[in-house]
Amino acid sequence: MAATPFMLTPSLNKAFPSSLSWRLSLSSTFGVAVTTRRRFTNTNSFIVVAAMNAKPTILVAEKLGESGLELLKSFANVDCSYNMSPEELCTKISLCDALIVRSGTKVTREVFQSSGGRLKVVGRAGVGIDNVDLSAATEHGCLVVNAPTANTIAAAEHGIALLTAMARNIAQANASIKAGKWERSKYVGVSLVGKTLVVMGFGKVGSEVARRAKGLGMHVIAYDPYAPADRARAIGVELVTFDEAISTADFISLHMPLTPATSKILNDAVFSKMKKGVRLVNVARGGIIDDEALLRALDSGIVAQAALDVFTEEPPPKDNTLVINEKVTATPHLGASTIEAQEGVAIEIAEAVVGALKGELAATAVNAPMVPAEVLSELAPFVVLAEKLGRLAVQLVAGGSGVQSVKVTYASARGPDDLDTRLLRAMITKGLIEPISSVFVNLVNADFTAKQRGLRITDERIVLDGSPDNPLEFIQVQIANVESKFAGSISESGEIKVEGRVKDGLPHLTKVGLFGVDVSIEGSLILCKQVDQPGIIGKVGSILGEANVNVNFMSVGRIAPRKQAVMTIGVDEEPDMEALKRIGEISAIEEFVFLKL
């Protein structure tokens, strides 16, 4: 057998009698890796089994700070091979137990396939793991860890550097004087003091940018529907609505993750609502801005200047029209590139990788499980339900004091000691946080991540009469102290409330606010509130049909005939804006919302 330091002992093999197929299907459904090389114990920790007869080999594919390298070398053979081609990486990887990268190396499915099962850990020395194929990692039983905190300040400082450099034309004036010119009147800048800066995405980086901009005398407001208002208030920042943010900004600084909801969030329609002459900074991710729309806004003068550190494609093509635009200040994804941040990131990732190779739990694990196989098997359909209820509930939030207080109710005929809900709680946390964050939540880091974000999740058990064979009857998720995009989702006591059950092995939404519904939670959902009357289902169905959107489920829950009702429609495809607009125009429909699951 090849000289791999990780082998299953026969006794551990016996501990995994169940088939690989269900384990892999679970992993692809909810990102939980269950592999033949991990052992689950009843203390809920998992162990990567390391034979002690060989030193592991760690491949470092991009430059890493010296302290991190020293730490790695004290434990393993370290191969620093920078600038490898994809083919070279695939060749080398079969000799390595761990791989460390930054954002410049694509860790594709081919890399995991080429490793022949030897690769156990991928360490991303930074936050974003968009360059790592997570499903492939999970399917190949490879743990992925990242370093989410060590480069926050560097990114914030780079944001401020771009803001000030842009306002005073530093890059353009520098190029001009180096070309032998002396153009004093051409490079008159704008002042920052007293100007309104909108921070979009008030997380780790955004709040540090806000703090610094206030020191420059700017009036700072923020848009982040999920951030706690009291955290913002504590540093003198007011959270505002999206419309208020974009219409009042003199400067906008982007700090949200790239998610389906933020993709091209700055587009033609949004630029048209901005004050003429607004200035824009992006140190978050390319793709949050619609590049073509930004070019048009720069040409028309709506956007006076932009400063970009990140691009839809990296590196951008040489003739990229944004990069070469005189009004654009550009840097090659340097947000995290300070000596201090790279040392910090290197230590953070080296500790995580070495710990994982030793079999310790990693707080920054992105795809790791820690649950006994038999619990996972029994709760599998409820795990999917739990995550989807979390995703649904958080997407209904419109604003308020931020998502801080969530109550989860589990109704079961089993006594509390016979039902381990930690897995479900982690999946609800995952559902609540992942749609609104760049953070990856799993069983290892769920409670830690929730606490870090000021999110308090309380559990309540309802013990029902009946057979304890079924682990759970229903799960209810309530978010308190928030406003909803869909007033119909508000309960008697003022919380956003969604409830679901597993029916025939599939997750179903069974209650929204006060309304009983029944819709399988798959694809996407449209929720409509209306006064119950004939013909509405037909009208909505026709609009969706004309837009070539396939309806997979529809249900109406009402208080009483001809009274208030909520219609839930499951759709396979995302309706376009026009179809959604037409649904909103049906006179009996009081409100509606489209939710991606």
Ligand X SMILES: O=C(O)[C@H](O)COP(=O)(O)O
Q: CB-side exposure of 482: number of CA atoms within 13 Å?
A: 29
Both tokens assigned to 124 = 């991303």
Name which of 222 and 371 has its Cβ closer to ligand NAD: 222
Stretch that binds ligand X, among 66-74, 88-96, 328-336, 350-358 (CB under 6 A): 328-336
Residue 195, classed as helix, strand or coil, is coil
Q: What are phi and psi of 370, to 5 degrees?
A: -155, 70
Q: Which CB, 279 or 333, lies closer to ligand NAD?
A: 333
Task: Return the number of the residue (151 or 484) whose C-beta is nearest ligand X.
Answer: 151
User: Among the options 38, 333, 414, 508, which is catalytic?
Assistant: 333
Residue 333 catalytic? yes
Using rule CB under 6 A, residue 203 touches ligand X: no
Residue 126 interacting with ligand X (CB under 6 A): yes
Judged by CB under 6 A, the stretch of 10-18, 87-95, 186-194, 282-290 that binds ligand NAD is 282-290
Q: How near is the Cβ of 102 to ligand X at its closest, in Å?
A: 4
Token pair 């869909």 in the structure block, residue = 486
Tell me: does residue 155 bind ligand NAD (CB under 6 A): yes
Q: Is 128 in the site for ligand X (CB under 6 A)?
A: yes
Helix, strand, or coil here: 10?
helix
- For residue 5, the SS3 value is coil
Phi/psi-derived region of residue 116, left when phi > 0, alpha when psi is between -120 and 50, beta in every other case: left
Concatenated DSSP letters for 50-103?
A: --TTS--EEEE-S---HHHHHHHHTTSEEEE--S--HHHHHHHGGG-SEEEE-T
597 touching ligand X, by CB under 6 A = no
Residue 140 or 255 with smaller CB distance to ligand NAD:
255
- Choosing from 23, 118, 279, 285, which is the catalytic residue? 285
Q: Work out how close the CB of 310 gets to ligand NAD at its nearest, in angstroms, rounded to a whole number.
A: 5
Find the binding residues for ligand NAD in span 158-177 (CB under 6 A).
none
Does position 158 interact with ligand X (CB under 6 A)? The reply is: no
Helix (H, G, I), strand (E, B) or coil at 502: strand
Is 368 among the residues that bind ligand X (CB under 6 A)?
Answer: no
The single residue among 133, 139, 224, 348 that binds ligand NAD, judged by CB under 6 A, is 224
Q: Which residues does 490 contact at the CB level (< 8 Å), separation at least 6?
A: 484, 496, 497, 513
| Farthest-apart Cα atoms in the chain, separation | 86
* Angle in degrees, 0-180, between the axes of helices 373-395 and 20-30, rounded to the nearest 10: 20
Which is nearer to ligand NAD, 261 or 269 (by Cβ)?
Answer: 261
- Among residues 66, 238, 292, 314, which one is catalytic? 314
Q: What is the smallest separation between the CB atom of 148 and ligand X, expressed in angstroms? A: 8
As a whole number of angstroms, the distance between CA 544 and CA 523 comes to 15
For residues 48 and 64, which CB has a smaller minimum distance to ligand X in the complex? 64
Decide whether 262 or 476 has the Cβ nearer to ligand NAD.
262
Residue 153 binds to ligand X (criterion: CB under 6 A): no
Which tokens in the block code for residue 149? 């905190």
Distance of CA 16 to the CA centre of its chain: 32
Q: By C-alpha distance, which of 45, 69, 70 is closest to 368?
A: 45
C-alpha distances in Å from residue 270, one per residue of 61, 243, 260: 40, 9, 17
Annotation marks residue 183 as catalytic: no
Closest CA to 308 of 298, 216, 190, 300: 298
* Interstrand relation of 219-223 and 196-200 (parallel, antiparallel or unpaired): parallel
Q: Please choose which of ligand NAD, ligand X, none residue 102 contacts, taking the beta carbon within 5 to 8 angstroms, the exact cut-off set by kind.
A: ligand X
Output the CA torsion sign for 582, 586, 590, 592.
negative
Residues 403-462 that bind ligand NAD (CB under 6 A): 436-439
**Which residues are CB-contacts of 100 (< 8 A; sequence separation ≥ 6)?**
58, 59, 60, 61, 62, 64, 72, 122, 123, 124, 125, 349, 350, 353
103 binding ligand X? (CB under 6 A): yes
Exactly one of 31, 68, 201, 570 binds ligand NAD (CB under 6 A); which one? 201
Nearest to 155 by CA among 310, 354, 313: 310
Is 314 an active-site residue? Answer: yes
Q: Which is nearer to ligand X, 283 or 426 (CB)?
A: 283
Rule CB under 6 A: is residue 336 a binding residue for ligand X?
A: yes
Closer of 278 and 288 to ligand X (Cβ):
288
Q: Which of ligand X, ligand NAD, none lies near 439, with the C-beta cut-off 5 to 8 A by kind?
A: ligand NAD
Cα–Cα distance measured from residue 288 to residue 295, given in angstroms and rounded to the nearest whole number: 14
Question: How many residues form the binding site for ligand NAD (CB under 6 A)?
Answer: 34
Q: Which of 58, 66, 59 is nearest to 84 (CA)?
A: 59
Residue 210, classed as helix, strand or coil, is helix
Q: Does 579 bind ligand X (CB under 6 A)?
A: no
Give the end-to-end CA distance of the chain in Å, rounded to a whole number: 44
Q: How many Cα neighbours within 13 Å face the side chain of 2?
A: 12
Q: Which is nearer to ligand X, 348 or 532 (CB)?
A: 348
Q: How far apart are CA 366 and CA 142, in angstroms?
A: 10
* By the rule CB under 6 A, 128 interacts with ligand NAD: yes
Per-residue tokens: 258: 């790239």
> Is 255 an interacting residue with respect to ligand X (CB under 6 A)?
no
Rule CB under 6 A: is residue 127 a binding residue for ligand X? yes
Among 98, 162, 245, 256, binds ligand NAD (CB under 6 A): 256
CB of 235 to ligand NAD, least distance (A): 14
Rounded CA-CA distance 385/439 in Å is 21
Q: Which is nearer to ligand NAD, 279 or 285 (CB)?
A: 285
Degrees (nearest 5) of the Cα angle 469, 470, 471?
A: 105
Number of H helices, E strands in the chain: 19, 24
User: Using the rule CB under 6 A, is 227 a contact of ligand NAD?
Assistant: yes
Q: How far is the CB of 125 from ligand NAD (least distance, A)?
A: 11
**Shortest approach of ligand X to residue 495 CB, angstroms?**
34
> What would the x/- binding string for ligand NAD be over residues 335 to 374, using CB under 6 A?
xx--------------------------------------
Stretch that binds ligand NAD, among 139-147, 181-189, 271-279, 332-340 (CB under 6 A): 332-340
User: In the bound complex, what is the minimum distance in angstroms from residue 154's beta carbon to ligand NAD?
Assistant: 7
Q: Which residues lie across from 557 on neighbouring strands?
A: 566
Q: Which residues in this chain contact ligand NAD in the complex, by CB under 6 A?
A: 127-128, 151-152, 155, 200-206, 223-224, 226-227, 255-258, 261-262, 283-285, 309-310, 333, 335-336, 436-439
Q: Which residues in this chain contact ligand X in the complex, by CB under 6 A?
A: 102-104, 125-128, 151, 333, 335-337
Residues known to be catalytic: 285, 314, 333
